[in-house]
Structure 1
Amino acid sequence: MLPSVTVIVSFALVVGLLTITPGLDTALVLRSAAVGGKRRAFGVIAGIQSGTLVWGSLAALGVSAILLASAQLYDVIRLVGAAYLIWIGGRMLLSAIRGTTSSAAGEGAPIDDDSFFRGWRLGALTNLLNPKVGAFYVAVLPQFIPQAAPHLMWGLALAGVHVLIGSLWLSILVLAAQRFHGWLRRRKVARTIDGITGTVIVGFGVGVALEGASR
């Protein structure tokens, strides 16, 4: 038994609002599209959605609830994720300060090349190491899965809805950014993008790291 149209539409509205709200995913994809290139940007999208499917599956099976219920395990995920975000954002800030971001694909640091796999790895790690994604699925997904329903099947189906919406929205952003690709790849513009995106990602990472103080 698969989710009904009513359940799918209701879940789509919830995750749709979450998707279009500017956040970490938006910043990563837009930066990749502007500085790295289209292949890298679509790799980031694929990585983010891969992480979404994993979190949806874990939430449906109750695994993520167990992980997030353990203060020690949660803190490990939180701190590792925060460190990764700060490292990624810090590299972007350093690139902006040094002016090493190049307008030519593949020149400069590896983070700036137009590689689908590097983009996928960045998107997947960022998503999987973000405990806020797991917390969202633990809080929301059970509300849409009846007790008697096959949880894994429903979890994958609903996470698939999230993946479709997220892929569509982020792909639109990439294609929009590509229309201004030449201008965005100018050195001064690219440094500004790195500076802004790096600041956002570092701030997000610091926020994740300090979250434990309020627990």
Structure 2
Amino acid sequence: MLSTLLAFLGACTLIAASPGPSTVLIIKNSLRSRRSGFLTVLGNETGVFVWGVVAALGLTALLAASQFAYDVMRIVGAVVLVVFGAQTLWAARKRKKDEGEAEGWEAPERSGWSSYRGGLLLNLANPKAAIFAMSFLPQFVPAGAPELPAMIALAAIWAVFEVGYYGVYVWCVGRMKTYLSRVHVRRRLEQISGGVLLALGARLALDG
């Protein structure tokens, strides 16, 4: 059991280390504040746990088997990514108009619910996250263990582990806040993250 758990945590580390839309959103919101970044992490990991439970119940098999259902989720996910990317680029454009303001300008704080909802929505709108959970979790169910509770437990461990992992990202961004809060630096980072989100949205939309 211990060796299985260690292998599972190692796999979780590799998954978390792979850059994706959630990583971009977490870093982007962490630029506002550690609170915003951490709540985005909690939202994202709620989505991870939800997909894990859905996979345990076997419902993601329906998504994998139905091209229509997958395509609907794929388009919804692409729209979510494009909207987030466009909002980020718009914020960067507005910030450009404020270039004359003093260095150290602080972005207005988002509500906690807004940050949490963003992380949750981005994860739940990604059909690949659902399919991945279905293929990933069963590999680590110990032999002879009841599959449903074991997969739910693994999903919970996965989500808690990633809270700690992405929490390090939030902490690191917070430590660099003085530098990252400079208007031109913040604007450049928003341009990059907005462009990445748009590109990921376009890729998901075109990925059959």
TM-score when normalising by structure 1: 0.87
Deviations 1:150-209 (A, max 9, x none): 333112211122112211111111111111112212221111111000111111111111
Query: Is residue 192 of structure 1 aligned with residue 188 of structure 2?
Result: yes
Q: 1:2-17 counterparts in 2 under 5 A?
A: 4-17=1-14
**Structure 1 segments (4+ residues) deviating >4 Å:** none
Structure 1 unaligned regions, length at least 5: 107-112
Are the counterparts in 2 of residues 93 and 195 from structure 1 also a CA contact under 8 Å?
yes
1:82 to 78, 102, 111: 78
Aligned residue for 1:110? none
Q: Distance in 2 between matches of 1:100 and 1:116?
A: 26
Are the counterparts in 2 of residues 39 and 114 from structure 1 also a CA contact under 8 Å?
no
Are the counterparts in 2 of residues 8 and 161 from structure 1 also a CA contact under 8 Å?
no
TM-score when normalising by structure 2: 0.90
Are the counterparts in 2 of residues 19 and 165 from structure 1 also a CA contact under 8 Å?
no
Are the counterparts in 1 of residues 48 and 159 from structure 2 also a CA contact under 8 Å?
yes
**1:104: Cα distance to partner?**
2.5
1:150 to 142, 146, 158: 146
Aligned residue for 1:109? none
Are the counterparts in 2 of residues 61 and 151 from structure 1 also a CA contact under 8 Å?
no
1:159 to 149, 155, 166: 155
Deviations 1:1-42 (A, max 9, x none): xxx2222222111121111222222211111111x2111111
Amino acid at match of 2:2: V
Q: Distance in 2 between matches of 1:23 and 1:39?
A: 21
**1:96: Cα distance to partner?**
1.5
Q: Distance in 2 between matches of 1:19 and 1:156?
A: 19
Aligned residues: 202
- SS of residue matched to 1:99: helix
Structure 2 unaligned regions, length at least 5: 99-104
Aligned residue for 1:23? 20
RMSD: 1.8
Judged with a 3 Å threshold, the aligned counterparts in structure 2 of structure 1 residues 191 and 144 are, in CA distance, closer, same or farther, namely same
Q: 1:91-110 counterparts in 2 under 5 A?
A: 91-99=87-95, 103-106=105-108
Q: Distance in 2 between matches of 1:99 and 1:133?
A: 33
